[in-house]
Amino acid sequence: MLRIKNVNPVISYFILRRLIGILGILLALVCYGGGRLFSDLSLQPSISFYYYTNVRDLFVGLLVGVSMFLITYKGYEVIDNIVSNITGMVGLGIAIFPCLFSKEVTMSVGFFQFNPELSNTLHLICSASFFVLLALNSLFLFTLTDKNKEMTENKKKRNKVYITCGIIILASLISLVFIKLTVDPKIIDEKKIVFIFEAVMLVSFGISWLVKGETIWRDPK
């Protein structure tokens, strides 16, 4: 039987990074598109609200997929593994602990059947932690360079993307927290502000990981 060996198994790390990036970018688009096409849903107040729609399985599936990729991802340094693993675990928390859909709902929700208020609290903690870790990853870990090697021009370009994506994620998260504390919740829901900021952060996260997978500006081997 013909056996073909994988000549360069390291390439799988680049593919994994790209997959993480692609799934991150697709999450908001798939949720909105699936809800709009198959259930005629308007844009929901947040991406997490799609847990209560026809695209629940896609929402949870994509989140679990991204999270598992992050948990199994192995970087060059131990700190890469630790941050990625924790990011993946809180990402799973976003899927496992649903957000609060309505204050009138009192029935238990999610895999663990927690009361809605507790589940929502855990959901918010996991969501905030997820985005903070993604930002820190882009700003401080993706930008690291082997001290024994000279930084290439392509690496410098990639670092600019990492820093930009990290800043966008942090700025969006801080802005969202400020808005949630100062603006009427009804206005926030009507304007879909949370969804917009979440989508921006997810796209930034996705771009950062796509570039980390050397989709562009790849260093010569």
**Planar angle of CA 103, 106, 112, nearest 5 degrees:** 115
- pLDDT band with cut points at 50, 70 and 90 for residue 221: low
Spell out a b/e string for 160-173, using b for 16 or more CB atoms within 10 Å of the CB, else e.
ebbbebbebbbebb
Answer with the residue of higher pLDDT: 148 or 45. 45
**144 SS3 class:** coil
Tell me if 143 sits within 8 A of 166, measured CB to CB.
no
State pLDDT tens for residues 91-113. Answer: 999 999 999 988 777 889 999 99
**What integer pLDDT is reported at residue 47 of this predicted model?**
97
Answer with the residue of higher pLDDT: 2 or 213. 213
Give burial (CB, 10 Å; 0-12/13-18/19+) of 150: exposed
**What integer pLDDT is reported at residue 3 of this predicted model?**
53
Q: Which residues pair with 114 in a beta bridge?
A: 109
**What integer pLDDT is reported at residue 5 of this predicted model?**
53
Mean pLDDT calculated for residue range 36-41? 96
For 36, the token pair is 């709009």
Q: Which residues pair with 109 in a beta bridge?
A: 114
Cα–Cα distance between 129 and 140 in angstroms, integer?
Answer: 16
For 52, the token pair is 């209560």
34 Rama sector, left if φ>0, alpha if ψ -120 to 50, beta otherwise: alpha
User: First-to-last CA distance in the chain?
Assistant: 32
Cα–Cα distance between 107 and 202 in angstroms, integer?
Answer: 30
pLDDT at 44 over 90: yes
| Residue percentage of the chain with pLDDT more than 90 | 76
Tell me if 129 sits within 8 A of 97, measured CB to CB.
no
166 Cβ neighbours under 8 A, 6+ residues apart:
134, 135, 136, 137, 138, 139, 204, 208
**What integer pLDDT is reported at residue 48 of this predicted model?**
96
State pLDDT tens for residues 159-208. Answer: 999 999 999 999 999 999 999 999 999 999 999 999 999 999 999 999 99
